[in-house]
Amino acid sequence: MKTRITELFGIKHPILLSGMSWISLPDMVAAVSNAGGLGLLATGVLDASQTREAVKAIREKTDKPFGANVSLLFPGAPQNAAVLLEEKVPVINFSLGKGDWIVQAANEYGGKVVATVTNYRHAKRAQEYGCHAVIATGNEAAAHGEPPTTFCLVPSLAGGLDIPVIAAGGVGDGRGLAAALALGAEGVAMGTRFMTTKESPLHEDYKNLSLEKDIYDTLYSKNFDGLWCRVLDTPGARKAVKHKMGPMGMLKAIPNSRAIAQMIGLPYMKLFFGVLASGWSNAKGLAYMANAFKQIRVATEKGDTKAGVLPVGQVTGLLHDIPTVAEVIERTVKEAEAIIGNLTTKLDGSRSN
């Protein structure tokens, strides 16, 4: 299956691994790339030295194209982006900020840059400063999709942009891939589907729980990490989204933010006073983030449904097994090709009648 995305990235199939903290690690990235897709390393919870080591580890596991993402809202993101540029990572995906400087630096070595967006205005701006493609994150997606659904967001971007659009949100099988292509996308990014595979480091309890859940079993709220965010419906998630950030939440954020500072290699006092100096809005946003990071990590690594919270998309209700990454990619492409072929046959048949 060839599209502008397969040509742009030099990959066999138009399927990307979404960058998911504590999930999209070197083994997962390499597994997706080796199966013909594009693996994306998640750097949000890594410091610069860990990011460099992860990139080297990926290159030891695959000789295929791969990428990495940076969430520019996160502390330490500029340092991680600098490492990706120094290491000449083939594809860099950024979100939650302006990445024009990443585009300029990546162009010097032939790297490709993809912006994750949730509206046309941001997508158009990304195209204007040189991004090679955009990932359109619809409402159905895990984590940070805005209210517009994939079914409406993708064609609105594809109809107004010259660069390729990659659909994210609501895609977990060949039906989703075929639908995304019909909407004008040139490929898809999958997170929730890849999260529940044999190679995924997600705790087995959450893998099994994901199979039990329906498409209705997610929560969508701004009260978890301060942005619109979709998570699996669990006792821990219900508690997390029940209240907006208040005094108790800010107090909890202090030790949690210490853990973040340590995790990304920043001096805590520098982070603390930098946040205070940036104003109340940013301080509250980073407090949300600090608390959310801890809960995501507890879910991912320990499988705790009472204290942990796991971002997942509505497509969790379409999952029925725990296959290998290669099996997911192979059957997704075969199913999409079969659907497209059947539609062509149906249309040809209707014309002849």
3-state secondary structure of 194: helix
Whether 251 and 173 share a structural domain = no
pLDDT (average), residues 12-20:
97
Contact criterion met (CB below 8 Å) for 345 and 262: no
What pLDDT is stored for residue 273 in this prediction? 47
Q: Is residue 85 part of a domain?
A: yes
Least confident of 97-111, 172-186, 215-229, 321-335: 215-229
Whether 31 and 146 share a structural domain = yes
Whether 179 and 55 share a structural domain = yes
What pLDDT is stored for residue 121 in this prediction? 96
In this structure, which amino acid lies at residue 320?
H
139 or 259: whose pLDDT is higher?
Answer: 139
CA 226, CA 221: separation in Å to the nearest integer?
Answer: 8
DSSP of 229-247: EEEE--HHHHHHTSS-S-H
Q: Is residue 307 part of a domain?
A: no
pLDDT (average), residues 341-346:
82
Q: Is residue 316 part of a domain?
A: no
Whether 89 and 134 share a structural domain = yes
Contact criterion met (CB below 8 Å) for 308 and 322: no
Task: Convert the pLDDT of each residue in 224-282 to its tens digit.
Answer: 888 899 999 999 999 999 876 555 554 455 555 555 555 556 554 555 545 545 554 55
Tokens at 158, concatenated: 């594809």
CA 179, CA 188: separation in Å to the nearest integer?
Answer: 10
254 or 1: whose pLDDT is higher?
Answer: 1
Contacts of 34 (CB under 8 A, 6+ apart): 61, 62, 64, 326
Pair type for strands 133-137 and 112-117? parallel
Q: Is residue 309 part of a domain?
A: no
Whether 38 and 120 share a structural domain = yes
Q: Is residue 179 part of a domain?
A: yes
112 or 344: whose pLDDT is higher?
Answer: 112
Percent of the chain with pLDDT over 70: 86
3-state SS record for 12-32: CCCEEECCCCCCCCHHHHHHH
Task: Convert the pLDDT of each residue in 84-95 to its tens digit.
Answer: 999 999 999 999
Tokens at 324, concatenated: 């290998």
Output the CA torsion sign for 205, 211, 216, 220.
positive
Pair type for strands 218-221 and 229-232? antiparallel
What pLDDT is stored for residue 216 in this prediction? 97
Contacts of 275 (CB under 8 A, 6+ apart): 257, 282, 283, 286
Task: Convert the pLDDT of each residue in 24-70 to its tens digit.
Answer: 999 999 999 999 999 999 999 899 999 999 999 999 999 999 999 99
Q: CA–CA distance from 144 to each of 88, 137, 138 (Å)?
A: 27, 7, 9
Least confident of 66-70, 199-203, 206-210, 343-347: 343-347
21 or 284: whose pLDDT is higher?
Answer: 21
Whether 10 and 109 share a structural domain = yes
Q: How many domains does the chain have?
A: 2
| Tokens 């946003």 found at | 285
pTM of the predicted model over 0.85: yes
pLDDT confidence tier of residue 73, bands split at 50, 70 and 90: confident
pLDDT (average), residues 82-111:
96
- In whole angstroms, what separates CA 165 from the centre of its chain? 15
Whether 70 and 131 share a structural domain = yes
What pLDDT is stored for residue 154 in this prediction? 98
CA 33, CA 28: separation in Å to the nearest integer?
Answer: 9
Q: Is residue 129 part of a domain?
A: yes
For 315, which DSSP code? G
pLDDT confidence tier of residue 213, bands split at 50, 70 and 90: very high
What mean pLDDT is reported for the chain? Answer: 89
pLDDT confidence tier of residue 178, bands split at 50, 70 and 90: very high
Q: Is residue 315 part of a domain?
A: no
CA 262, CA 328: separation in Å to the nearest integer?
Answer: 36
Judged against a pLDDT cut of 80, whether residue 351 lies above it is answered with no
Whether 112 and 227 share a structural domain = no
CA 181, CA 166: separation in Å to the nearest integer?
Answer: 9
CA 177, CA 170: separation in Å to the nearest integer?
Answer: 10
pLDDT (average), residues 339-349:
81
Whether 168 and 64 share a structural domain = yes
| CATH number for 94 | 3.20.20.70
Q: Is residue 310 part of a domain?
A: no
3-state secondary structure of 112: strand
CA 193, CA 61: separation in Å to the nearest integer?
Answer: 22
What pLDDT is stored for residue 50 in this prediction? 94
Highest mean pLDDT among 139-148, 159-168, 232-241: 159-168
Whether 166 and 222 share a structural domain = no
Contact criterion met (CB below 8 Å) for 19 and 41: yes
pLDDT (average), residues 311-322:
96
Whether 117 and 161 share a structural domain = yes
CA 148, CA 117: separation in Å to the nearest integer?
Answer: 11
User: Residue 30: which domain range?
Assistant: 4-201+323-349
Whether 67 and 159 share a structural domain = yes
pLDDT (average), residues 158-184:
97
